[in-house]
Chain A
């Protein structure tokens, strides 16, 4: 490679891993939060189902007592 061109691009290639890392890091941070939200949403749904079941069994028990 032409030494002048090598000098022109001397900071380009060494910077590439840092630039890629920065872009990937930003998307990973956002993706991790989305993952946490999805998990939380699923857990809430599970809890909601459990509460519905508990409520149904409680109502059933009350009916039997009457």
Chain B
């Protein structure tokens, strides 16, 4: 199968991925708020029986943020991995299409990073009582956010497309190094207070695991669909920009050519005049000297008429 056929096959999957992604996420959200049980918090002063079940702890609604917060964060890592991959491909091949792809993937990454920060901060604010804590996970993810924003600042700062593509690719690859660090930091630093969701002994009961997985796969499908749609639009926009630049270049070339033609005609006219009109100064033999020679009024008139013709 050729590269183009692969691309067409991927594009054909976009509507399916979009619809399925939205459906899975909605199903996950509905499950989260209807069937998934509330997690248990602090101990109660005395146990109580609710709906035939003994409850000994407070119930936490805020944990429900994680059913969508974690999938969004994982999607941001996944899309950024593609951005880094396409940046490497750009450096290997030098093809501009990989620059458009990497830029598009970074755009989608920025959206998912923003969504992660919004949802995460709201959880932090409720559970920890502050909007921000400089703990390892939050700090590394904040650095990732700044790096993603920095990527676009860098792109806007460089005008030459070739340099912009190369510099941005290198920056993207370096920025991506922070993604696995941010993902693994809660495991690497045991003192981290951020909850660890992805682990083999998480002990999530099926009624909690299923909505989480629905949200995760739904968000990944949404990220894929968004990236492909954005890629199609950005590729087209890049083509239009390139066409515009080429047309402008053609216009400029045509203008330069006509100006050169006019200059040549002027020089030829000047040369003709200098051969017919006797002059005392040698400067009159050069076209530049035609206007400066007080004896060559005819030449001036002739060159003027030539320039008017132009």
Interface residue from A12, A16, A32, A43 paired with B59 (Cβ < 8 Å): A12
Known: A19-B62, A33-B226. A54 touches B247 (CB 8 A): yes
Chain B residues positioned under 8 Å from A33 (CB to CB): 107-108, 111, 226, 230
Chain A residues positioned under 8 Å from B118 (CB to CB): 21-22, 25-26, 29
Interface of A is mostly: helix
Whole-angstrom distance between the alpha carbons of A47 and B242 in the complex?
Answer: 12
Q: Are the C-beta atoms of A8 and B48 separated by less than 8 Å? A: yes
Q: Are the C-beta atoms of B68 and A23 separated by less than 8 Å? A: yes
Chain B residues positioned under 8 Å from A19 (CB to CB): 61-62, 64-65, 122
User: Of all chain A residues, which has the CB nearest B232?
Assistant: A41
Asked whether B212 is an interface residue with its Cβ less than 8 Å from the other chain, the reply is no
Known: A7-B45, A30-B226, A37-B230. A25 touches B38 (CB 8 A): no
Q: Are the C-beta atoms of B111 and A29 separated by less than 8 Å? A: yes
Interface residues of B, count at CB 8 A: 43
Q: Are the C-beta atoms of B230 and A11 separated by less than 8 Å? A: no
Interface hub of A12, A19, A32, A41 (most chain B Cβ within 10 A): A19
Q: Are the C-beta atoms of A44 and B58 separated by less than 8 Å? A: no
User: Of all chain A residues, which has the CB nearest B46?
Assistant: A4
Stretch of B175-183, B197-205, B233-241, B271-279 at the chain-chain interface: B233-241
Interface residue from A11, A25, A34, A44 paired with B119 (Cβ < 8 Å): A25
Q: Are the C-beta atoms of A47 and B41 separated by less than 8 Å? A: no
Nearest CB in chain A: distance from B56 CB, A:
10
Whole-angstrom distance between the alpha carbons of A19 and B125 in the complex?
Answer: 11
Interface residue from B59, B72, B222, B233 paired with A37 (Cβ < 8 Å): B233
Interface residue from B44, B61, B123 paired with A16 (Cβ < 8 Å): B61
Q: Are the C-beta atoms of B115 and A29 separated by less than 8 Å? A: yes
Task: Encode B93-128 as 1/0 by CB contact (under 8 A) with A.
Answer: 000000000000001100110110011001101100
- Interface of A toward B, CB cutoff 8 Å: 2, 4-5, 7-16, 18-19, 21-23, 25-26, 29-30, 32-34, 37, 40-41, 43-44, 47-48, 51, 54-55
Instruction: List 21 A–B pairs whose Cβ atoms lie within 8 Å, in order of A's numbering.
Output: A2-B48, A4-B48, A8-B55, A11-B58, A15-B62, A15-B126, A18-B122, A18-B123, A19-B61, A21-B118, A22-B118, A22-B122, A23-B68, A23-B119, A25-B115, A29-B114, A33-B111, A41-B233, A47-B244, A51-B243, A51-B244
